[in-house]
Amino acid sequence: MPLFLNEEQSMLRDTARDFIGDAAPPSHLRGLRDANDPTGFSRDLWKQFAELGFTGILIPEAQGGLGLGHVEAGVVLEEIGRNLSPSPFLSTAVAAVAALSDTPHAANVFPGIVSGDTVAALAIDEGPKHRDHIALRAERAGNGFRLSGTKRFVTHGHIADLILVAARTAGAPGEQAGLTLFLLDRDRAGLSADAHRLADAGLAADLVFDGVEVDADAVVGEVDAGAVPLARLLAAGRTGAAAELLGVGAGAMDRTVGYLKERRQFGQPIGSFQALQHRAAHLYSEMEVARAAVLKAQQLLDAGDAAADEAVSVAKAMSGLAATLAVQEGIQMHGGIGMTDEYDIGFFMKRARVLAEFFGDANYHADRLAVASGY
């Protein structure tokens, strides 16, 4: 498979670019923020995503979806990133769908995702950094389990219809064995959500599980073997976040290069200054390399290739590094206007920071790659 988009994928990209650019450009995010909107995204927009089929992009056709892959999901995510559109697409249509695929839950949950009625949240992290350190306990109780502990940085956690929770049914924090993944609805006794607004104007919740009771059929996959669906969730989520980061970086870079051509100082466009040309060209190079890494991970995931896991870490880390550079150079090369709230470039910096942290930052993934490579 060549490492560039095929014709259908390019067409999907054009559709997504037109639609998202129209329906949810940065001004949409700005509007939500200015209104101090309590949801964090637009339910209306989510419905429109459903009408276009986007919400079912990874869901098999037999279950009402488009039956496409991570490359296609990434195409949509890149446009979401480019436009800074707040959306539960990554958590719901990508990560949750990957976790639930080929499990009995799919039949119950996928129709709601396809129709744009369901939003899912991912309750994975327990500290301020993404780590393989799951301590939240799930003790056997009657016919089911009782969950106690706290999760952090759960985007849409306060309004999601469904929550995927990684819990420990055995073993010690840090171990892969003894994990169990649960799927529950939000309206549960003992579950409270405390949402915080983040730097990028999105909302993420701390979820406190105070003896939350679930039935045995809330288990996704096998008890004590939650690492399996969790790995699917994380691989899809990381790759998706990488694609979105790519979009954020590309959006920032495009604006910056445009500004270099337009802004004049010393009687000439600032883009004619070699110091800036070289930095822009360097940024372009980093972004292209990141783009290749992300597509590689998507293709390997779609092919079910054993090399996918390492490629996913490369993609997440590299897109984080490139997008971080893009937003930093973006603000600097815009000069004073780049620091104003009125100008959009600052929004790119904030979103890149959030996404860089989501599912593990570049250092986390570099360490993960090192461990996988035996050093």
Question: Interface with another protein by CB under 8 A: which residues?
Answer: 2-4, 257, 260-261, 268-269, 271-274, 277-278, 280-282, 284-285, 288-293, 295-296, 310-311, 313-315, 317-318, 321, 362-363, 365-367, 369-371, 373-375
Q: Where are the beta strands (DSSP E) in 34-91?
A: none
- Single-letter amino acid code for the residue at 20: I
Burial 162-185 (b: 16+ CB within 10 A, else e): bbbbbbbbeeeeeeeebbbbbbbe
Give the nearer residue to another protein in terms of CB position, either 37 or 175: 175
Please list the helix, strand and coil fractions of the chain in percent, rounded to the nearest 5, in that order: 55, 15, 30
CB closer to another protein, 307 vs 339: 307
Residue 36 vs 274, nearer CB to another protein: 274
Is the CB of residue 93 less than 8 Å from the CB of residue 113? yes
Q: How far is the CB of 291 from another protein (least distance, A)?
A: 8
Based on CB atoms, which residue is closest to another protein, 156 or 368? 368
- Phi-psi category of 205—alpha, beta or left, where left has phi over 0 and alpha has psi -120 to 50? beta
- Measure the CA–CA gap between 144 and 11, rounded to whole angstroms: 47
Phi, psi of 136 (to 5 degrees): -50, 125
Going by the DSSP 8-state scheme, the letter that residue 122 receives in this structure is E
Residue 276 CB, shortest distance to another protein, in Å, is 8
Nearest to 121 by CA among 298, 358, 319: 358
Which tokens is 51 given? 């009408």
The least CB distance from residue 163 to another protein, in Å, is 32
Quote the least distance from Cβ 261 to another protein, whole Å: 7
Residue 256 token pair: 């910056």
Least Å distance, CB 325 to another protein, is: 12
Rounded CA separation 260/342 (Å): 19
Strand 137-141 versus strand 179-185 pairing type: unpaired
Task: Please tell me what DSSP assigns to residue 90.
Answer: I
Q: How far is the CB of 340 from another protein (least distance, A)?
A: 24
User: How far apart are CB 205 and another protein at their closest, in Å?
Assistant: 31
β-partners of residue 203 are 197
- Judged by CB, which is closer to another protein: 36, or 268? 268
By beta-carbon proximity to another protein, the closer residue of 31 and 258 is: 258
Nearer to another protein, 39 or 272 (CB): 272
Nearer to another protein, 197 or 279 (CB): 279
At closest approach, how far in Å is the CB of 314 from another protein? 5
Could you give the CA distance from residue 274 to residue 251 in angstroms, rounded to a whole number? 22
